[in-house]
Amino acid sequence: MNLALHYPVLQVIIPMLMAPLALLVQHRKLAWLLASVTSLCAFALAIAIAQLVLQGSSYAYPLGGWQAPFGIELRVDSFSAIVLIIVSGASTAALLAGYQSLAQDIEEDRASLFYAAWLLALAGLLGIVVAADAFNIFVFMEIASLASYILVAGSSDRRALPAVFKYLIMGTIGATFYLIGIGLLYIMTGTLNLSDLEVRILAVEDQTPILMAAGFISVGLALKAAIFPLHAWLPNTYSFAPHAVTAFLAACSTKVALYVFLRIDFFVFQRTLSDHAAQFSIYLLPLAVAGILYGSAMAIREPLAKRLFAWSSVAQIGYIVLGVSLVSQAGLSAGILHMFNHALAKGAIFIGIIVLASQCQQLTPTALNGLGRKHPLIGIAFVVAGLSLVGIPGTAGFVSKWLLIDAILEHHRWSIALLMVVLASSLMAVVYLAKVCETLFFKTPETTVVQPLPKLAIALLLLVSFANLIFGVAPGLPLELANNAASLLLEHTL
Amino acid sequence: MILLDLFHYWVFIAILMMGFYTVIAKQNLIKKLLGLSLFQSAVFLLFIGIAKVDGGTTPILHPSISTEIFSNPLPQVLILTAIVVGISTSALGLAIVVRIKEAYGSIEEDQIQSKDESA
């Protein structure tokens, strides 16, 4: 038996089976340990899958031996591999760093429930990525969403509750829109398997239902991915969620929705809808630009550090969308690489927030005053992550921004205007980062009670910040995966 | 006549829009959730409606069933799953509403907002 063939399914069922197990372990530390080890396993599997897909292009896994299109199929390729790494890596880092912080937020008797929900969210997100069936994607999406509503509602801040309610309403509307789109596709083609759909959709003569389906699916997934102007749920959800949950979700949940969006759009609709590339960029490009500018502007105005970085996520999603909306090899690979790099930078920043929050009672605008001066190492690691967010040379963020600018220059018509947007928003990012730095380094600390530093969280912060520097100098694996993924998406034009 | 032929699509759209309107327009969180349920149910109807084949019978292979035409069983199976998802969403939503009521003493959206702003 060749175990490597089973990696795609193991990726999903290990966290899924461990979730009820975590529920049975009525002990905070054991449940956390179980969740962390499971998440680490998923990360190792994701790396192994990435190695495998770099050798071959993609491989499918028929569940239970039933061949597609009748059976359910899982499929992994370079694009899924990079997203798998993002999801499992973010989950692992957030879990390891979040133990103490979560212990403050979650009561002892609910801890195992919380970690079970975390594992379900992880299983759902990984499931979305490996599923090759439109309906399975919906089911996994709902598993992931329902579990992450629970995670966000775990916060001890009561403002998390209205935020999560809004998230639930908008997330469900998004998923239902997606389901309507799938329904229309099923009516026209009679299949749900993505690769089967790709072939059968060519035989459909009437384009109107297909166009409707594309619209419903795009809007639904854009809601989940928080693409401007459908980002309304994001800032409050991220700022009031428990810090570790923010680190997890901010790094990966919107990217997974973007992944599904790109995958379905490019695999299914690209060949059948006439003038697909032009339409794709006409709708997405302005939204991306507006998202970048609006998100950055709101981040500058925001006094609360955690909410500030939530707004910056809206802008960064804009960068990813800007890259892919150029519909070129360079643009797509820049966008996909930016998913990875943004996850690294945002992950590090929110892990930094975990560490800093441990030093103050509540994250008020003045609570972080002078904390960087008090703990220089933490401060510097935090700033490195921030610089990666801005895209300073030598950090991971620079590589994808450079590729993005490269792709924009290739795309001749609006290149100057788009370049100005990227430049302006980078300057805005410098401004809001400077604001946080000023709080951290140049303000006198409030007289706070000295609390023990969470060592594991600091170690993770240093590790992820260091990874930002490493991937800034040698972006090897993610860059290769992103390039492969981009050509894979474009190959489906033919 | 073509309008009547597409009867079940019209029902789908009408219910969908009623649900959607309730979600957007109502301030009461429970009403919002009811609207959301309605919104999802409309999609269930869409799927179940398309499964019916003219003159088709229950899709069971049995000697007593002689016709060759069967209704499509797949959409119903899909919707079984989607119904479960819908129930879980409603249950979770209601649980959150209970906690909002505990924390804020209200389930009206504007009152909750004003309480947060004054705090």
How far is CA A412 from each of CA A43, A292, A328, A404, A407, rounded to the nearest angstrom? 40, 20, 12, 13, 9
State the residue for tokens 């499971």: A38
CB atoms within 10 A of CB A452: 8
In a domain, A269, yes or no: no
* Shortest CA gap B92–chain A (Å): 8
B22 touches chain A (CB under 8 A): no
Domain membership of residue A119 (yes or no) is no
Nearest to A337 by CA among A161, A479, A487: A479
Domain boundaries, chain B: 2-58+66-118
Q: Among residues of chain A, what percentage have pLDDT more than 70?
A: 98
Distance CA A316, CA A296 (A): 9
Indicate the helix (H) or strand (E) that contains A61. strand A58-62
Q: Which chain A residue has the Cα nearest residue B100? A: A161
Contacts of B82 in chain A (CB under 8 A): 138, 179
What distance in Å separates the CA atoms of residue A467 and residue A473, rounded to the nearest whole number?
10
Tell me whether residue A205 is in a domain. no
Instruction: Look at B89 and A146 and tell me if their CB atoms are within 8 Å.
Output: yes
Reading phi first (left if > 0) and then psi (alpha if -120 to 50, else beta), residue A365 is in alpha
Nearest to A169 among B23, B85, B100 (CB): B23
- Collapsed DSSP state (helix, strand, coil) of residue A451: coil
The mean predicted confidence, pLDDT, of chain A is 87
DSSP H helical segments within A107-206, as ranges? 111-130, 134-153, 160-189, 194-200
Residues A342 and A320: beta-carbon distance below 8 Å: yes
Distance between CA A398 and CA A390 in Å, rounded? 8
B92 and chain A in contact, CB less than 8 A: yes
Q: How far apart are CA A454 and CA A355, in angstroms?
A: 7
Q: Which amino acid is at A155?
A: S
| End-to-end Cα separation, chain A, in angstroms | 37
| Total domain count, chain A | 1
Reported as a pLDDT band with limits 50, 70 and 90, residue B39 is very high
A-chain CB neighbours of B92 within 8 Å are 146, 149-150, 168
Question: Which range in A118-127, A303-312, A371-380 is most confidently predicted, on average pLDDT?
Answer: A118-127
Of A301-310, A416-425, B50-59, minimum mean pLDDT range: B50-59
Task: Tell me whether residue A94 is in a domain.
Answer: no
Beta carbon pairs, A and B, within 8 Å: 72
Q: Tell me how crowded residue B30 is: count the other CB atoms within 10 A of its CB.
A: 13
Whole-number pLDDT of residue A477: 84
What's the pLDDT score for residue B89? Answer: 94
Give the mean pLDDT of A275-298.
86
> Hey, what are A107's tokens?
């009561």
Task: Return the percentage of chain A with pLDDT > 90, whole number.
Answer: 31
A297-327 burial, b if ≥16 CB within 10 A, otherwise e?
bbbbebebbbbbbbbbbbbbbbbbbbbbbbb
Neighbours of A482 (CB within 10 A): 28
* HSE-CB of A324 using CA atoms within 13 angstroms: 29
Q: Which tens digits make up the pLDDT trace of A427-441? A: 999 998 888 888 888
- What DSSP state is assigned to residue A446? P
Q: Could you check whether the bond before residue A69 is cis, i.e. omega within 30 degrees of 0? A: yes
How far apart CA B110 and CA B28 sit, in angstroms, is 9
What residues make up the domain containing A436? 275-494
Q: With CA atoms as reference, report the closest residue to A327 among A489, A129, A212.
A: A489
pLDDT for residue A256 is more than 90: yes
How many helices and strands (H and E) does chain A possess? 20, 2
Residue A448 pLDDT: 62
Q: Is the pLDDT of residue A180 over 90?
A: yes
Helix (H) or strand (E) holding A77: strand A73-77
Evaluate whether A360 touches A453 at the Cβ level (below 8 Å): no
CB contact, 8 Å: B90 with chain A? no
Task: Find out whether A445 and A373 touch, Cβ atoms under 8 Å.
Answer: yes
Question: Predicted confidence band at B1 (pLDDT cuts at 50, 70, 90)?
Answer: low
- What is the pLDDT averaged over residues B86-101? 93
Minimal C-alpha gap between B107 and chain A (Å): 10
Tally DSSP H helices, then E strands, for chain B: 5, 0
B99–chain A Cβ distance below 8 A for any pair: yes
* Spatial separation of the C-alpha atoms in residues B24 and B38, rounded to whole Å: 13
Where residue A447 falls among pLDDT bands split at 50, 70, 90?
A: low
What is the Cα Rg of chain B in Å? 20
List of residues 6+ apart from A38 with CB closer than 8 A: A14, A15, A18, A119, A122
CATH 1.10.287.3510 fits domain B2-58+66-118 = yes
For residue A234, CA distances in Å to A261, A290, A304 come to: 18, 16, 15
Average pLDDT over residues B26-50: 91
State yes or no: pLDDT of A370 exceeds 80: no
The B residues from 25 to 44 touching A (CB cutoff 8 Å) are: 29, 32, 36, 39-40, 43
Distance, CA of A456 to CA of A475 (rounded, Å): 26
In a domain, A217, yes or no: no
